Amino acid sequence: MPEEKSSIFKNRNFILLWVGQTISIIGDNLYYLALMWWVLEKTGSTAAMATVAICSAIPSVILGPIAGTYADRIDRKKLLISMDFGRAILIATPAVFLWLGALQVWHIYILAVLLSTMSTFFNPTLSAFIPQIVETENLTRANSLTQLSFSISGILGPSLAGVLVAFVGTPSVMLLDAVSFFVSGTAILLILVKKAEVATAEKRKFLHELKEGFVYIKNTQFVLSMVLLASVLNFFAGPIGIFMPVVAKNVLNAGSEGFGFLASAASVGGLLGSLCLGLLGDIKHKGLVILGGIFLGGWAIAFFGISTHLWASLFILGLFGFFISLTNVVLASVFQSLVPNQLQGRVFGTLNTMSMGLRPISLALAGVLSDLFKVQVVIFVSGVLIALGGVYGFFIKSVRRI
């Protein structure tokens, strides 16, 4: 059973997890901006950045259900710790290569695959671990705080990275991310989870347990509807991330610092959205909040595509972050309260694979489309299609009425 605490802030285990994750996510944002800017500067190619993104996406698509099943069979705490420490070592490697002047783009492709593989095991395990240490009535607040971490990290990380890349160089920025993973792993190590709280799967065949995740999703109409909708929406949203540095450099003439500010803007909006949900606690009409966030977030992306001014772009991305944070927080809370704990690892892993299944195709197309059309056009059309996906969701009864 989770800790019997009335306030999420009195839950020592969750606070340790939250603080560790916040530090780690800040490091991730530092690393991502430094890496993508290095690839853009070295190659000048949108296709190269898309290839990095594809290498990051493929492991999660292939290994998601397998990773989730392992999360239900072994000690989740130990798995989280090992993945954090493993990623700390991996992230330190390109920093050393850069200092030696030996880093090549193909090294980044391999690193992206390895890091994504570890993250694929870490993410569903983390989602399944939170309900073990948090009471059901506090899940929305816990997920709001988790989203708050992403928002704070998204504000500090890219802004700091843009400045740090300019003044201390990419290797130092990467090394900071390695340290952040070590801190996160240490924080999880300090979490006290009773043996009775650790999910223990029955001694059944692995493939049988793997199948259970798919069967549960197939038989739960809301979950199946949302994962199919998310798959299509992620397909349209795929190009946005890799086009952002291109927009910063070629459209807004803002440099690495401007790229950092753009990435931070969405997180400022996400921070406000998380604070609103954290104050409200559990809310009614969750389906309408989820779909409304998708619809308005899509239009925000569309307007970002036609913006040619830095300050307007920052404001628009702030709105996008606000609306999408509403969707993410509420959806995570619904899944965590709906899915039985003993199934959460494999269900979340399978959900990730199904919802992200079209993303590698989307990223590959992004590289092609950027050669045929202006990136602003691709972003605008993608945003409109995301908004239309939100409209379509209103016609799905199981989603609208959740």
Q: What is the pLDDT of residue 53?
A: 77
Whole-number percent of the chain with pLDDT over 90: 7
Question: Average model confidence (pLDDT) for the chain?
Answer: 79
Q: What is the pLDDT of residue 209?
A: 67
200 confidence band (pLDDT: 50, 70, 90): very low
Q: Is the pLDDT of residue 374 over 90?
A: no
Dihedral, 270, 275, 276, 278 alpha carbons, nearest 10: 120
The fold of the 8-400 domain, in CATH, is Growth Hormone; Chain: A; (1.20.1250)
**320 to 46, 228, 238, 394: CA distances (angstroms):** 23, 22, 15, 20
3-state secondary structure labels for all residues of the chain:
CCCCCCCHHHCHHHHHHHHHHHHHHHHHHHHHHHHHHHHHHHHCCHHHHHHHHHHHHHHHHHHHHHHHHHHHHCCHHHHHHHHHHHHHHHHHHHHHHHHCCCCCHHHHHHHHHHHHHHHHHHHHHHHHHHHHHCCHHHHHHHHHHHHHHHHHHHHHHHHHHHHHHHHCCHHHHHHHHHHHHHHHHHHHHCCCCCHHHCCCCCCCCHHHHHHHHHHHHHHCHHHHHHHHHHHHHHHHHHHHHHHHHHHHHHHCCCHHHHHHHHHHHHHHHHHHHHHHHHHHCCCCCHHHHHHHHHHHHHHHHHHHHHCCCHHHHHHHHHHHHHHHHHHHHHHHHHHHHHCCHHHHHHHHHHHHHHHCCCHHHHHHHHHHHHHHCCHHHHHHHHHHHHHHHHHHHCCCHHHHCC
Q: What is the pLDDT of residue 203?
A: 47
Q: What gap in Å lies between CA 339 and CA 281, rounded to an integer?
A: 20
Closest CA to 297 of 323, 275, 269, 271: 323
Write the pLDDT tens digit of every residue in 68-110: 777 777 788 888 999 999 999 998 888 888 888 888 888 889 9
Q: What is the pLDDT of residue 357?
A: 65
Q: Is the pLDDT of residue 305 over 80?
A: yes
201 confidence band (pLDDT: 50, 70, 90): very low
Gyration radius from the chain CA atoms: 20
Q: Is the pLDDT of residue 210 over 70?
A: no
Mean pLDDT of 258-278: 79
Q: What is the pLDDT of residue 6?
A: 59
Greatest alpha-carbon span in the chain: 59
Q: What is the pLDDT of residue 282?
A: 64
Of residues 367 and 27, more confidently modeled: 27
Q: Is the pLDDT of residue 28 over 90?
A: no
Q: Is the pLDDT of residue 178 over 50?
A: yes
Q: Is the pLDDT of residue 5 over 50?
A: no
CB 75 within 8 Å of CB 193: no
Return the sign of the alpha-carbon dihedral for residues 300, 306, 311, 312.
negative
CB 235 within 8 Å of CB 358: yes
For residue 248, give every residue at least 6 positions away whose Cβ sits within 8 Å of its Cβ, in sequence order, or none: 254, 255, 256, 258, 259, 262
pTM beyond 0.75, yes or no = no
Write the pLDDT tens digit of every residue in 111-158: 989 998 998 888 878 877 888 888 877 777 787 787 777 777 777 776
Closest CA to 237 of 66, 389, 68: 389
205 confidence band (pLDDT: 50, 70, 90): low
What are the residue boundaries of the structural domains of the chain, listed by start?
Answer: 8-400
Return the sign of the alpha-carbon dihedral for residues 239, 184, 83, 91.
positive
Q: What is the pLDDT of residue 354?
A: 67
Least confident range from 3-12, 77-86, 369-378: namely 3-12
Tracing tokens 């990773």 back to the chain, one arrives at: 67
CB 399 within 8 Å of CB 287: yes
Mean pLDDT of 329-345: 75
Tracing tokens 């065949």 back to the chain, one arrives at: 205
Q: What is the pLDDT of residue 4?
A: 47
169: left (phi over 0), alpha (psi -120 to 50) or beta: left
Of residues 114 and 257, more confidently modeled: 114
Q: What is the pLDDT of residue 199?
A: 43
